[in-house]
Structures are given as C-alpha cells and as structure tokens.
Amino acid sequence: MNTWNISLQDSNSPSYEMMIFFHDFTMMNVIFILLMIAYMIYSLTMNTLTNRFLLQNHLMEIIWTISPMFILLFIAIPSLKTLYLSDEMPPVTLTIKTIGHQWYWSYEYSDNENLSFDSFMVPPNSMNKNNFRLLDVDNRCVIPYNTPTRILTTSMDVIHSWAIPSLGVKMDSVPGRLNQYYLTLNRPGLFIGQCSEICGMNHSFMPIVLESTNLKNFKNLTFPHTTPLASHPTHLSE
C-alpha cells in the first residue's frame, strides 16, 4: 500500500503490474549508472596526478561507447514485452464503449444494444458524505473482475482521454476513430480516473469511476433504460 503517496498507485490489472515492474527495473539501472558516473567524476577531479594513459586510453573509449548499447538493449527487452502485451487483444466476454463529450462521459454496453447511460460529475453541493469531491459521478461504469473486457473509446466533439492510473489505462478518445484496450481487473473495488487531455473549459470536471464487482452480482444487476445506473446499490462484495 502506498502510504506516503510518493510512488505509483497500487495495481489492479496485469498490464499495470508489468508497467510497475518495468518502472522499478529501469530506475534500478538509472541509479546504478548515476552512482557509477558520480564515482568516476569524483575520482578524476580529486586525483592530483594526470595520467596520459587514462586520458588517451582507446580501450576505455571503446568500453564507454559499447556499454550504453548493452544497457539500452537490457532495458528495451522488457519494454517491448510490456508494450506488446498492452496492445494484445485476446478473446473477450464483455465490450464497453466509452464516449467523451464536453464535459462528461457516456457508456454503451455493446453486448446489449439498449444499455447506455451518461456519467456526470457529482456537483459539490449535491455530494453525500461517502462521495469523493470532484472525483465521483452519478452513474458508474460497472464491470466484473477476472473477466476479459474490451474497452472502446471515441469522442463526439474534441479529443478526450479515458485514463485510470491504477489500471494502467490511458486511451485517447478521438472523434471519428475507435481506440481499444484489453482490460482484466484483479479484485473488486472503485477505481477513479479523469480525462487526461485538455479538452476545454470544464476539462477538470469530467471524472471516470469504474466499479468492479464479481460476476454473480454483475449478472443480477438490472439496467432499466430510463433509470440511471447509480440508482442501483453498489456491489463490492466478493
């Protein structure tokens, strides 16, 4: 758990777990290089003797030219693996389409043609004690965890960005274009994000709230066309 809020958010998807691993792996290499170069600079500046074999050493020049190539290759392999697995689209059981508007989101469950709703931020003067200020919405998007899900996103006006940091998701919502992302949640809970593309005056007031529940509760949910999704109680039990 990130107690001091100085690191990345806790992961809730396999893809974000790989991203966190790659971040830690790269930082380990960067810190090692920084310490090594700092030691070399310190040793050379504090040395009162000037050695011509050190200043004109061709073998040393070859080493510090070739070494970065191997370091970059060492970093590139997990980077390409993470990038490939993030773009992979295996068979899914659920498809949800997110549409960005100025300044709210709308959701369509593509497996049910009649199921769609808008998701607006809860105004501060209408909040309950259990709401998150400027981060909660009236209608949450609900999906089951441990279920392969495809997220499609587009926009009706300007470019938006559907992003949830704890899931490792950040997709541009571009008018006239569909972007997709494969998503599998590890556990139930509420996961909050925001539009990450400056889209106008109220860009800061179109949050994203994704609710993860078990498959049994998800199947028992009813979605009347005229009733907002938020009118149903939240289902966060295992």
Task: State the distance between the two ends of the chain, measured CA to CA, in whole angstroms.
Answer: 20
What mean pLDDT do residues 207-234 have?
Answer: 62
Give the residue with greater pLDDT, 236 vs 67.
67
Question: What distance in Å separates the CA atoms of residue 31 and residue 98, rounded to the nearest whole number?
Answer: 40
pLDDT score, position 82: 84
pLDDT score, position 222: 57
pLDDT score, position 55: 67
pLDDT score, position 90: 81
Residue 35 has pLDDT above 90, yes or no: yes
Q: Of all residues in the chain, what percent carry a pLDDT higher than 70? A: 86
Task: Classify 94-222 by CATH class.
Answer: mainly beta
What mean pLDDT do residues 17-44 have?
Answer: 87
Residue 230 has pLDDT above 50, yes or no: no
pLDDT score, position 31: 92
* 236 pLDDT tier (thresholds 50, 70, 90): very low
Bridge partners (DSSP) listed for residue 45: none
Residues of the chain with CATH 2.60.40.420: 94-222
- Range among 5-19, 49-63, 213-227 rated most confident: 5-19
Helices (H), the chain: 14-45, 52-55, 58-87, 215-220
What mean pLDDT do residues 207-223 have?
Answer: 80
Among 21-25, 86-90, 104-108, 141-145, name the one with the lowest average pLDDT. Answer: 86-90
What does pLDDT average to over the chain? 81
* 41 pLDDT tier (thresholds 50, 70, 90): confident
Question: What distance in Å separates the CA atoms of residue 202 and residue 4, rounded to the nearest whole number?
Answer: 30
* 183 pLDDT tier (thresholds 50, 70, 90): confident
Is this prediction's pTM over 0.85? no
pLDDT score, position 113: 67
Q: What is the pLDDT of residues 46-93, one digit of tens each?
A: 776 666 666 677 887 888 888 888 888 888 888 888 888 877 778 888
Dihedral Cα 86, 88, 89, 90, nearest 10 deg: -110
3-class secondary structure for 197-235? Answer: CCCCCCHHHCEEEEEEECHHHHHHCCCCCCCCHHHCCCC
Of the candidates 161, 179, 178, the one whose C-alpha atom is nearest the C-alpha of residue 170 is 161
Token pair belonging to 65: 């030219």
Residue 220 has pLDDT above 80, yes or no: no
